[in-house]
A and B are shown apart, each in its own frame.
Chain A
Amino acid sequence: MTLFDHHLLALGITSASTLGLGLFVLYKNPKRNLHRSMALYGFSLSWWSGWECAALHMPTRELTRQLMQIEYIGVSFIPTLLCTTVSFLLDFRPQTRRRFLLPLYAGSAMALFVSSIHPTSLFLDVTSEPVAYLPIWGLAGPHYWPFLVFFMGAFLSGIALTFRAWRGKTGPERAGLALFLVGSIAAYAGGCPEFALKYGVRLGWLNPFGLYGVPLFIGLMAYAIVQRGFLGIHIAIRKSLVYSILVTLLTVGYFGLIYGIERLFQTKFGYHSIGLSVAAFALMALAFQPLKMGIQRLVDQLLFRVPHEELVKRMERLEREVKQTDKLRAIATLAAGMAHEIKNPLASIKTFAEYLPMRYDDPAFRTKFSKIISQEVDKMNALVHRLLEFAKPATPHLEPVRLSQVVNDTLEFLQGALVQKQITVQVAFAQTDEVLADTVQLKQVFLNVLLNSIEALGGTGQIHIATTQQNGSVHATITDTGSGIAKDDLPRVFEPFYTTKPRGTGLGLSVVHSIVREHGGRIAIESERGQGTTVEISLPLNGGAHGPHAHSHRG
Chain B
Amino acid sequence: MGRMRILIADDEEGIRESLNLILGEEYDLAFATDGEQTLAKAKEGAYDLLLLDIKMPKLDGMEVLRRLRADGDGLPVLMLTAYQSVELAKEAVKLGARDYLPKPFEREQILAAVRGALPGR
Contacts and interface: CB of A to CB of B under 8 A. Distances in A.
B18 A351 contact: yes
Interface string A364-378: 000010001001100
Given A341-B82, A422-B91, A347 B103 contact: yes
Contacts of B85: 420
B107 interface: yes
Interface stretch (B7-15, B37-45, B113-121): B7-15
A483 interface: no
Contact of B12 (A344, A350, A354, A416): A344
Contact of B83 (A355, A372, A420): A420
A344 B83 contact: no
Contact of B14 (A340, A344, A359): A344
A325 interface: no
Contacts of A341: 82
A316 to B, nearest CB: 41
Interface residues of B, number: 25
A16 B55 CA distance: 73
Contacts of B103: 343-344, 346-347
A420 B21 contact: no
Which bracket fits the contact residues of A? 20 to 34
Contacts of A346: 103-104
B110 to A, nearest CB: 9
B87 interface: yes
Interface string B85-113: 10110010000000000111101000000
Interface string B1-39: 000000000001111011101100000000000000000
B80 to A, nearest CB: 9
A530 interface: no
A102 B113 CA distance: 71
Interface in A315-357: 340-341, 343-352, 354-355
A328 to B, nearest CB: 24
A403 to B, nearest CB: 22
A419 B60 contact: yes
A422 B88 CA distance: 8
Given A343-B103, A372-B14, A376-B14, A419 B87 contact: no
B64 interface: no
B70 to A, nearest CB: 16
A350 B19 CA distance: 12
B51 interface: no
A344 B85 CA distance: 16
Given A416-B83, A419-B83, A345 B14 contact: yes
Contact of A368 (B15, B17, B54, B102): B17
A348 B14 contact: yes
Interface in A365-407: 368, 372, 375-376
A499 interface: no
B18 A352 contact: yes
A537 B62 CA distance: 32
A501 B54 CA distance: 30
A459 interface: yes
A246 B107 CA distance: 83
Listed residue (A346, A415, A422) with the most chain B CB atoms within 10 angstroms of its CB: A422
B104 A350 contact: yes
B109 to A, nearest CB: 11
Nearest to B54: A419
Nearest to A422: B62
A382 B48 CA distance: 37
B74 to A, nearest CB: 23
A340 B12 CA distance: 14
B56 to A, nearest CB: 10
Contacts of B12: 344-345, 348
A500 to B, nearest CB: 24
A354 B87 CA distance: 31
B15 A344 contact: yes
A343 B19 CA distance: 15
Nearest to B84: A340
26 contacts: A340-B84, A341-B82, A343-B102, A343-B103, A344-B103, A347-B18, A348-B12, A348-B14, A348-B15, A348-B17, A349-B14, A351-B19, A351-B104, A352-B21, A368-B17, A372-B13, A372-B18, A375-B14, A415-B55, A416-B83, A419-B60, A419-B83, A422-B60, A422-B88, A422-B91, A459-B87
Q: 9 tightest A-B contacts by CB?
A: A348-B14, A351-B18, A347-B104, A343-B82, A347-B103, A346-B104, A343-B103, A340-B82, A419-B55
Interface of A: 340-341, 343-352, 354-355, 359, 368, 372, 375-376, 415-416, 419-420, 422, 459
Given A355-B21, A420-B87, 19 more contacts: A340-B83, A343-B102, A344-B12, A344-B103, A346-B103, A347-B104, A348-B14, A348-B15, A348-B17, A349-B14, A350-B104, A351-B104, A351-B105, A352-B21, A359-B21, A372-B14, A375-B13, A420-B85, A422-B88
